Chain A
């Protein structure tokens, strides 16, 4: 048990906005080079505070992705990005969600499930299409098995291109949607 506490203490706070002291390891200095989170996070938090009373709930839907986008969406929750501190939470049900974060291309076999998830989400709601495939069909396009872009199936409010978009791209995408 003490081992856990010791490790937590010696690892220190790595979350990039708040990395106060570089006491933990040499590696921290290397890690902090990834910039942009600080500024971006501040803006994001201000927007969410103003428009969503401090918390924005996201339901992620994989509608046919190769799972590359999912890996980067997951990374938003790791200690470096820790998107929860800005008030962004991933929730388990579309009933709890403000935003659907949809990766694509939308496969024909997921089309009905995506429509139903959209219908199950309470108003007001927003949809962000993630990745090149979600944006325009990407490498897969439209075929007998793929509807292509998310916008071909449900209304889309913002698009975050990239193959896959990085965690910073994703944060920027959420910010862009609510800043205008």
Chain B
């Protein structure tokens, strides 16, 4: 899948953001005392750039003395790390068992059709990223869609257009509790 994303991502979005190696070294310095702080370093880089740029991984490998393949292995192992830039809005469709039997695959298909991307990809205008998740733990509310931290319960395929419109107009209201924790 990583390869798919990498291949398709290159056609779609050109991740041309200059990586400030000094900034990355600064992040690394914050974790020097910590043994094996690679995951927190990568997490901090991702929160700064929104994804893990290739050059950033190279800097991390050079600075920590790890080989690039080890750093890359960790970055691809965890689902929360992404190697391709993310769109402005993140759409996350739950495909857990409960959501699945209630028609979540149809919802994903509708998102795919409207955005013309596959799950894991970002639209060329960098507006939307579509992702699927295996369970959000809110099975009673399924099929559930999360847009930028806001949960839409009981989504049917015909609701997809409305959700996208809301997201585009930035009318997605995130409950204060979620906003505070996330």
Pair from one complex: no
